[in-house]
Each structure stands twice: as structure tokens, then as C-alpha cells.
Structure 1
Amino acid sequence: MHWSHSIFCFSLLVCGTLQAEKPRWAIALHGGAGTVSKEISQERLQKYKGALEKALHEGESILESGGSALDAVERTVMVLENASCFNAGKGAVFNAEGFHQMDASIMDGQDLSCGAVSAVERIRNPIQAARLVMEKTPHVLLTSKGAEEFAKAQSVAFVSPDYFYDATRWKQLQRKLRKSGRPAIEAPSYPLPATVSQIGDPSDMAISRGTVGCVALDQHGNLAAATSTGGMTGKMVGRVGDAPIIGAGTYADNKGCAISATGSGEEYIRNAIAAQVNWRMRYANQSLSEATQACINDVLKPGEGGVIAIDGHGNISLEYNTGSMSRAWADSTGSRGTAIWEDKFGE
């Protein structure tokens, strides 16, 4: 009896120790901060929900199986880039001359390695090109034609410009041009196939901005962040926002946190928001929540955007000061959810 009892106690101790030492992982993603009308059609709402769920599943599957945070954020962002309901990749907005220029960046918290592309026009998934800049060049940021020539040499998938066309995005451009007193543009700068639908969703017209991004902590204790965007509707040709700027829209540091931002890019650049969140944690001894709240509520003005962030303990922060922020999160404790407004789906 005494021997059996000892074995039982030893088993409990071993099992308890193994359970306590189980590596933790966590992931959060966003589909942009801005104004998504609560009058949005149910069909459009389900598209948003489905895209968020698909992206979340992609990332959490990688992390659950022991994959890297870097792979998780890249693959998650690719799913969001392929969803036309977000302002990145396929859903990229139009610039002032009627075409699309996209930006993206990625960062590895292990060693601060990072890569980015800006003002690219035909790369299907800009986040892939950003990672290749990080891994295959001595540089951090490649832009425009140079970035596309590099991506093509790396066999990144290219598409024709009409791949990015969306009727609702086109109507948003017309409204933006009228509102700013600029002349309307009759058609995109590229030809449209006859099969392309030119009927937009009126309930989606209130969406003012949106970038996609992802942050993750893997079971090895490494952090990573990635961000991708089509920028601002009606932006000047060549305008670059915060998404490809390391320290503004994206940052990852194992000693601090991983951050992806969304909102008014110029303000995120001026205030180095992504890096500032990290610095507040490392040098001002603020918690993740304190750091993100301070940046969103005290540094930025109301309506300027949001951030998602994760620290090395798996804490998640999802902060915004706009009417909405499409977002999703999951971790190894079983916490999981998706949301656009303050409430979660299904509640």
C-alpha cells in the first residue's frame, strides 16, 4: 500500500509539473480600425466573420502544432490579404489616380530582424515579399518597382491589376473625391474584364479605413508581428503610411511585445506608436495593457485607430479609439473570440 501510494503521489507530481511547464502560445489579429456601420448587411457581416475565423484558425493551427510565431503571422495575414472585405491585398482601396498601391511589413522578436515593401501594385500577397526582404536581402524596406522586381526574382505570385478591383471600394473613391472637391474619375486606370461585378454593397460604404495585421507568441517563447494594407482611399500616388514602417505600424521584441497597428498612418509614424508601446514596457515598466492604452488614449486623438499586441507571457491587448476594430484572438488556455464592435460575435 505504501509503495502504491508513493507511485501515485510521484505520478501526480510529475503530471502536475508537466502541466505547469506546458509551453504557452497566443495570437491576435485585426482587420482594421475605423467605422463599420452596425447597419451592415448580414451577408457582408458573415463575410467579415468568416474571414476573421479563417485567418484565426490558420494562425492558431500553426502555433498549436509547435510552429513559429513568424510563420503564424505571415500565414494569417495572407488569409486576410486574400479576403476582399479588408483593405489589404485583394481588398486594397484605390489611390487618387484609380489604382492600388500596397504596403506590408513583418518582424521577428528573436533578433529584431524585419522586412517590408511599399507602393507595390501587382504582388498578390505583399506580406510574402516583406518576409523575403527580411530573409534574402541586407535591407529592411524595398519600394515600388524595385520591390516588385525583387519579388518576381523570388517567384512571388503576381496578379493583373483588375484582381484588386472591388465595386464598393471604387464607389468609396468617388465619394472621397467629391468630398475633397477633386474631379471624379470615370474608370480605374486599368481595363476591367466584362465578368467583373460593378455593383457595390451600399451597407459597406461607411467603412472608412482598414489595415490587416497579426501578432503571435509561439511555444518557443518567440514573438512576431506582421501588417499589410492598401493605405488610404484617394491617397496621393506614392504615399506610404505606417504599415511598412518598422516602429510605427509594426514591431516585435522578445524582451517587450509584438504590435500591429491600424489607423491614421501619419500619426502612427509621427509618434512611433508600435515602438513606443514596446519602449513603455521595457523602460517605463508599464504592463502591456497600460502601454497600449496610453498610446491609444493619451498619445493619439480619438478616431485615429487601434493596436493589437502580445507580450512574452501571452497577455493580449486589443485597443482602439474608433467606432470599430475587426479583431480575433486565441491562446493555449482556451480563450478565443472574434469581434467588430464592443460585443463579440454570438453574444
Structure 2
Amino acid sequence: MWFKNTSELTILNLLYLQMKNKLKTEESNITTKTEFVLLWFSDIPNLQWILFGMFLVISLSILMSNSIIILITRIDSSLQTPKYFFLSNFSFLEICYVILGAIPRLLMDLLTQKGSISFLACATQMCFVLMLGVTECLLLAAMAYDRYVAICDPLHYPLVMNHKVCVQLVTASWISGVPAVIGQTCQIFSLPFCGSNRINHFFCDIPPVLKLACGDTFVNEIPVYVAAVVFIMVPLLLIVVSYGKIISNILKLSSASGRAKAFSTCSSHLIVVVLFDGTATMTYLQPKPNQSERLGKLISLFYTVLTPTLNPIVYTLRNKDIMVALRKLFGY
């Protein structure tokens, strides 16, 4: 290539160096990021200490109330049944939500006024929250099956829901989603991240993290939708079918008191299903462009904080057996 003078060559060299430096900068933005920044509730900065106190009280109440439920189901002989075996495991799951889920990191960030979180910590948090969420969906389905057998086939209930079967159902609930969750987390965090590293959320959830990934993430969103269908919609469908048959059997009962007792027994479980599965479905099955960040945080609060808080209240206040066991425990 011919140049009229050395100034043209100098200009071209400068342009080349600028483009080279720009490419290096973009590469470093993608490869050298070692942390995210969680913005939690930064749009309401004046309420951070109030939020810290509120979430601290909530977490302590979850730990205490669920621990009491586990205790009374272990020591009260009248509660040594499959129904309360599942309930005690459900309470243990809610305790795990407080210890391993979004709340500990949220409390620490609100206390220190810092939201930085390493890639590894972010991936670990996402993995634990997803694992616990999958376990809850499957455990709720197992509890619905228990109620179905108890009401629709009471004569064979002790045989069908023996201790071995109950243990197998609980174990399957805990471990079935582990490979899928680990694989999905690894896939998401193997993506290149460019631009901002600020997550407009209070924990590392899939939708807000995927928004920071470079390029089109549609291929990466497909496994998220598939997993949501398998671990949220399929158990929910089984619950709906089970309760359809349960309600049909209840309506056939001649005794009004018997119908009321059966409905009361099932209503607590249905309330929890609606709260948890409903909000989880809205989070993971809603198309990405339609997801509002503020609404996403609010919905996530339901299944990570509010549901574990309400579950002990729902299961105790609406359950006469547990209320009697509580009076025995506290000497009333």
C-alpha cells in the first residue's frame, strides 16, 4: 500500500493501536470480572436499617417456629404419622432456607452497606436457593400424595404410606434436582459477562444474572424453562390432580363435620402450594422481556422469605393436633 506522506501512515498506526486497545479492554471486561454487586433495595436507601431489623426478626422467627414444629413431631407420640413426618421435613427445609438461602447474605449486605459478592459466592448462593426450591416443589407433591391416599384410600393408607415409602419420597425430594441445578448453575456462570456487573436484586437469581451476560442468551434460557416445567409445573400438576380427587371424595361424605375436617386438613397445604408454586412459576416461566426488576424482587421475596415465615403459622393455627401438642409442650 502506498502513502503520500508519513503523516497518513502515522494516523493509520494510531487508529490501529486504538482499536487494539479497545479490543483488549473489552476482553478484560469479559474475562477479568471477579465479582458482582447486589443492589438489593438500593432504591430505598433510607430504610436499610429498618429492613435489616425486619429481616433479622423474620429469620429468627422462622428458625424458632420451625424448630418447635420439628421438636413436637419428634417427642409427641400422637404425631408419629406420615403426615407429620413430611411436615417435620418441610420445617427442616425452611430452616435450610434461612441458613443457606438469600437471607444471610442480605443481612450481611444491609449491615455492612456493601453488596459486592464474588463469582463463586454468587454461584453457590444460586445453587443452594435453586436446590431448596426444587426440594420444596417435590416435597409439596409428596405431601399431596400422602393426603390423597389418606382420604381416598384410608383402608390401605398404613400399608401404602409405610415408613420406608415416606423416607424414599423425602430422599427423592432432596436429591432429584441436584444434578440439574448444579449443571444449570455451571452453565450460567460459564457465560461471558460484559458491561455492568451490578445485579438489581437482593440475591443471585437466574433472571437478573442472565441479564448481565453478553449476547443473546436464548439458548441458555431454554434449560431454565425446561427445568421449571419439570420441577415446578409437573409437581404442581400432580398436586392439582391429587386434590381434584380428594375434593371429589370429600363431597361424597355424608357427614358435614367429616367434610369440614377433611377440608381443614387439606386447606393448609393448598395455601402453601399457592404461595410457593405460584410465585416460583411467575419468576422462572415468565418471558425475559416481560420481567420487571422491581416486580421480580417482590415476587422473589415471597418464595425466599415470606413463605418460610407463613408456613409454621399456616400449619399450626389450622391444625388441632399441633395446637394440642404445643399446649402439652408449654404446660398449658
Superposition TM-score, scaled by structure 2 size: 0.30
Q: Which has the higher helix share?
A: 2
The structure where strand makes up a greater share of residues is 1
The structure whose Rg is larger is 2
